[in-house]
Structure 1
Amino acid sequence: MLILQGCSDTSGLEASWQDYLSRLSRVLDRDISRDPSGEVLHFPRTRDIAMTFAPSNIDILDFLRMRRCALRETIAQRNSILGRHGDESAKLLFDLRFLNEARECIQLLKDDGNDSLASQLSDAARLKQQELPKRIFAAGIAGDEFREFWKMPPDLRDYPSSGEDPSIAALARWQRWQQRWLAGNWEHDANDVLTTLGHIRMGGGGSLLKAEELNTRELRAAAKLIDQRISGRALCLKPSPTSSAQQFRNVLGSRFIGVIQQQASLINQHKYGLLKNIDTIENELFSAMAAQDAEVPQAYLNWLSQRTALLANATKAHQRHVKLAGELLSQCGLSPGGNSP
């Protein structure tokens, strides 16, 4: 009764699998056997993906000589206690603001005859531009907001949902901004950037990973049940449907196709909405880092490889389940579409 109540909720992914596998087990007269749970995928530790940056070469005396520059206020804020201890997103905003204001300040210094300081500031701006891909990495995909985005929830009570994930639009904005910043257009709205990161933080990347872990494990368990009847005692001794074969097809239609594949469709929509932006963000940023001889931390590359494998395994498990189910139906003279000979 509890199982049926759980399945009445279209977001009850665990309950749907429990119901489907228990029905499949009864129809096929086989016990459910699940693979042991693998290691949970965790986002890399902060220290394992931290970036190092060159220290500023502008001292307090140089700073005082920038009296006509808006950059002077920016540097003052950066050198304040709040600025020195800001998070990675605050440091990115400072560097973008620095790069935006440096050009005008360099010209003003030249006009005032401070060619030496103008040259020093040019070197500082050039260094910040070279380090910008690393700064975007630290504040973006390696930052606290993305860490929360990928954090797996304790359960999947509200997943999958037909509602829009707020992080999808936020990721699209971040990708556009990142592309502009890397191209040398450092215009930005600080409040907009922080708000967008906040929306990314609220996203369901972790729910997606947890759901695909669950789907893979349960699809493999279902495949074992079906494979046992294909390779062992036949469900049908000749290609004509028995009552058990008809029940098997009904379970496939009502529970797998009618419930689980509907949930899988929502998950796939969510996955596409997230990954089309995340993949672009990662690929463009990695290329920019490589152009500046900046290495992506191995811990992040390992995490990315594991994340990709997890999602690919879910797809493979689904394809194998469908293939085996079709083989067993064919053994009994039935087709997945529901028409018996």
Structure 2
Amino acid sequence: MAIAAAPRKPRAEALQLELQNSDIGTLDFLALTGCELQITIGKRNSSLGKLAPPSQRLLLDLEFLRHAPACIAHLESKADQQELVSLLEQSQILKQQQLARQIHNATLAGPEWHQFWKPQKIPVGYPSDTTSDQVLQALDAITAMADNWLRGDYVADSQMFETHLNTLRSGDGGVILSATQTGHEFFSRWNTTLGEYTQQHACSPESRRTILETVIAKYFAGSVQQWLAPIMSRAENIQQASNQLENLLSQASSAEYNRWREQRDDYIQAMKSLTVAHVKTLKRVINPC
């Protein structure tokens, strides 16, 4: 029987949403003397700014939104700068409209999130010996930041934001997918095998049932369940924290991302269903009559 592999997340680059450019030209840039916004636009138009990763582009847009009102107010008093004022107001509105998509690009479509959910080898002792609350704290912190930004509070701790993203890079979302796939393979095969066994042995003698109960207690309850239970608990915590950010940005996310997210969550949920089915099958094996 073919076992469905864990759903692979699309490449981060493929999930980047296209944004409309609203950069100020060179001549307009020079007219911004006296505005803090001039420094922000200078950074965005520099060689490094044009090659900036999604997280830095987001931070520069937030910086623009913080400084734009004061600059607009400063220029409104100058009769010869009304065209520039209009341009800045248009840029401000555009960046506000695109902010959710920009946050999506920096987080859910960023390289850190991709690494976070990339299936990888299950470490020895996972999850108790290798997990940290820092991943969940980083997820909650990024969600809180994004929520504030979308509410119009454009203050951003750049260093802290990048630190939280880097924490996600070494997180265990991908380990959870690998562990879930291992569980899928185990339960799918054994549920089929045990189903065939119950058909071939309609009523087992008492001695055989006793042996089966001992094997189940030792290898399933005492081994498989003890390994799987904390993994599924960790998966639930990671899912809940991830879903909070994903729900916040769901309207801005691409159909491709939302499709992968649904497949990912369904795959993990199916693991729970397979576990329940396995317990029912074991009961039928022990008491087939």
Q: Map residues 62-77 of structure 1 onto 2, 5 A cutoff.
A: 62-77=28-43
Measure, in 1, the Cα distance between the counterparts of 2:240 and 2:4.
Answer: 27
Q: Map residues 123-134 of structure 1 onto 2, 5 A cutoff.
A: 123-134=90-101
Structure 2 stretches of 5 or more lacking a match?
none
Q: Secondary structure at the match of 1:187?
A: coil
Measure, in 1, the Cα distance between the counterparts of 2:3 and 2:276.
Answer: 21
Measure, in 2, the Cα distance between the counterparts of 1:198 and 1:235.
Answer: 57
Identity of aligned residues (%): 28
Q: Secondary structure at the match of 1:53?
A: coil
- Letter of the aligned partner of 1:186 in structure 2? Y
Q: Map residues 113-152 of structure 1 onto 2, 5 A cutoff.
A: 113=79, 114-152=81-119
Is 1:298 the counterpart of 2:262? The answer is no
Residues 48, 297 of structure 1: 8 Å contact kept: no
Measure, in 2, the Cα distance between the counterparts of 1:57 and 1:316.
Answer: 51
Equivalent in 247, 250, 262 of residue 283 of structure 1: 247
Q: Map residues 101-250 of structure 1 onto 2, 5 A cutoff.
A: 101-113=67-79, 114-162=81-129, 163-234=131-202, 236=204, 242-250=206-214
Is 1:51 the counterpart of 2:8? The answer is no
Please report how far the alpha carbon of residue 269 of structure 1 lies from its aligned counterpart in structure 2 after TM superposition: 2.0
Aligned to 1:293: none
Residues 133, 182 of structure 1: 8 Å contact kept: yes
Task: Check 1:262–1:154 CA distance in 2 against 1; reply closer, same or farther (3 A cut).
Answer: closer
Aligned to 1:314: 271
Measure, in 1, the Cα distance between the counterparts of 2:107 and 2:260.
Answer: 15
Alignment RMSD (CA, Å): 1.8
Residues 226, 324 of structure 1: 8 Å contact kept: yes
Q: Map residues 88-99 of structure 1 onto 2, 5 A cutoff.
A: 88-99=54-65
Task: Check 1:39–1:252 CA distance in 2 against 1; reply closer, same or farther (3 A cut).
Answer: closer
Is 1:331 the counterpart of 2:288? The answer is yes
Please report how far the alpha carbon of residue 155 of structure 1 lies from its aligned counterpart in structure 2 after TM superposition: 4.4
Measure, in 1, the Cα distance between the counterparts of 2:120 and 2:285.
Answer: 36
Please report how far the alpha carbon of residue 56 of structure 1 lies from its aligned counterpart in structure 2 after TM superposition: 2.0
Residues 165, 204 of structure 1: 8 Å contact kept: no
Measure, in 2, the Cα distance between the counterparts of 1:195 and 1:57.
Answer: 27
Range that drifts further, 43-52 or 195-204:
43-52
What is the TM-score normalised by the length of structure 1? 0.79
Range that drifts further, 46-55 or 89-98:
46-55
Instruction: Please list the CA deviations of residues 200-222 of structure 1 after superposition, one character each: whole Å capped at 9, or x if unmatched.
Output: 11100000001001101101122
Residues 179, 284 of structure 1: 8 Å contact kept: yes
Measure, in 2, the Cα distance between the counterparts of 1:89 and 1:57.
Answer: 17
Measure, in 2, the Cα distance between the counterparts of 1:111 and 1:330.
Answer: 87
Please report how far the alpha carbon of residue 57 of structure 1 lies from its aligned counterpart in structure 2 after TM superposition: 4.9
Range that drifts further, 124-133 or 36-45:
36-45
- Letter of the aligned partner of 2:56 in structure 1? A
Residues 235, 244 of structure 1: 8 Å contact kept: no
Residues 48, 299 of structure 1: 8 Å contact kept: no
- Letter of the aligned partner of 1:329 in structure 2? I
Please report how far the alpha carbon of residue 55 of structure 1 lies from its aligned counterpart in structure 2 after TM superposition: 1.7
Instruction: Please list the CA deviations of residues 117-169 of structure 1 after superposition, one character each: whole Å capped at 9, or x if unmatched.
Output: 22211110100010111111111011100000011114443423354253211
Equivalent in 244, 251, 254 of residue 215 of structure 2: 251
Aligned to 1:17: none
